[in-house]
Amino acid sequence: MDDKPEYIDRVTENAGLHNEAWQRTLDDMESIAETRREDGWEAATFQTIQTAPVSRADNDNPDRFGISTVLPDNHAEEFREIYEHNDLDQYQVYSTEVEGFMYLVIEVLDFDSKTTLLLALRYDLTIGRGMFKSVYDEDTIFTYVRTIDGTEIAVFEHEEYRPLLPEQARPPEGARPSENTGE
């Protein structure tokens, strides 16, 4: 791939910034979880190990697009149990962009049981253009959580997707999706 050396240069050149941004993301996730616990919530935190933006064109299923992230196998069962036994139907997104990467904490909540899952993840914006177009076309985004072997353990839909995208890729507030093709 012709751009591979450029990609490697970009990532290694900013390794310190990325390490700091990732550590801040993990610290933020733990801080949010601790605040929830102090308020009487059950809060579980999960650090993902790989994340990629996925567009409809990237796979055989045109309904599948968004953020695909991988949990380490040793945390998958705990995540799955909380996901399956709670109605995690609300979410908060905490995000920042650093040198071509989007760093996120996605918090999904069940207000009835006072349970929350927090996921720390990051994705490379240089490969996100197709996902942005899919998001604009459909006016929603999904987060897919899977194990290392590809087993899907959770899917979350985020109708308010702007916090999951970098500022320059967000459509203007109030714009209709058909007005924003990402191209």
Helix-then-strand count for the chain, H and E: 4, 8
Q: What pLDDT score was predicted for residue 169?
A: 76
Q: What is the pTM of this model?
A: 0.85
Q: Which residues of the chain have pLDDT under 50?
A: 1-2, 178-183
Q: What pLDDT score was predicted for residue 182?
A: 41
Q: What pLDDT score was predicted for residue 134?
A: 92
Q: What pLDDT score was predicted for residue 1?
A: 44
Question: How do residues 140-157 score in pLDDT, each as one tens digit?
Answer: 999 999 999 999 999 999
- Beta-bridge mates of residue 115: 42, 110
**Spatial separation of the C-alpha atoms in residues 173 and 22, rounded to whole Å:** 28
H, E, C per residue of 122-142: EEEHHHCHHHHHHHHHHCCEE
Q: What pLDDT score was predicted for residue 61?
A: 83
